[in-house]
């Protein structure tokens, strides 16, 4: 089936060789798909909002984004409900996936659209974003603060460079 006809939105990243001025070429492209049922790509929606080459080990790169509407980025992961944040570590030489981690609550959790991922001095991923759920604190039924019925918290967390385990 023609993949362009499937109703989905996927994240992608390309490495481009810029060493020769007039002859820039794509070295590799990796596309990451979301699924809503762990079977089909139909309806899976995800976007990547940040990438970061790890200064301590240039053979690794982080890519991160948001997966929407209860979708998952990997069949081994589960959605927390609503929108979730995902972080992937790729091999910068060939674009192969080293690991992928999905983080979410029952509410909507989103990666910051600007500078949402960095790395610390040891190469661990640092992610920034917002949540209207109980991602790292209990809201205890608190009232919303805005006229449109939403209220979000900002979160910051780290993920282990080797496993992607949360360091919160």
Strand order in the sheet with 60-67: 46-53, 60-67, 84-91, 97-103
Q: What is the pLDDT of residue 118?
A: 94
Check whether 2 has a pLDDT greater than 80: no
Distance CA 48, CA 32 (A): 9
Output the pTM of the full model. Answer: 0.85
Tens digit of pLDDT for each residue in 45-86? 898 988 899 888 999 999 999 999 999 998 787 888 899 999
Q: What is the pLDDT of residue 134?
A: 77
Q: What is the pLDDT of residue 40?
A: 75
Is the CB of residue 43 less than 8 Å from the CB of residue 10?
no
Is the CB of residue 77 less than 8 Å from the CB of residue 32?
no
% pLDDT > 90, the chain: 45
Residues in Cβ contact with 82 at an 8 Å cutoff, skipping those fewer than 6 apart? 69, 70, 104, 105, 106, 107, 108, 109, 133
pLDDT band at 154 (very low <50, low <70, confident <90, very high): confident
Which secondary-structure segment (H or E) carries 26?
A: strand 25-32
């Amino acid at each position: 089936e023609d993949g362009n006809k499937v109703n989905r939105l996927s994240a992608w990243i390309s490495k481009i060789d810029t060493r020769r001025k007039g002859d820039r070429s794509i070295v590799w492209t990796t596309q990451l798909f979301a699924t809503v049922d762990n079977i089909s790509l139909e309806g899976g929606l995800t976007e990547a909002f940040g990438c970061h080459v790890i200064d301590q080990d240039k053979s690794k790169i982080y890519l991160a984004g948001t997966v929407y509407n209860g979708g998952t980025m990997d069949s081994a992961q589960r959605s927390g409900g609503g929108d979730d944040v995902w972080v992937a570590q790729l091999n910068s030489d060939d674009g192969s996936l080293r690991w992928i981690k999905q983080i979410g609550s029952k509410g909507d959790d989103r990666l910051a659209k600007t500078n949402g991922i960095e790395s610390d001095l040891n190469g661990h991923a640092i992610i920034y974003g917002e949540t209207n759920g109980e991602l790292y604190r209990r809201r205890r039924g608190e009232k919303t603060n805005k006229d449109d019925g939403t209220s979000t918290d900002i979160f910051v967390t780290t993920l282990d460079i080797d496993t992607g385990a949360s360091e919160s």
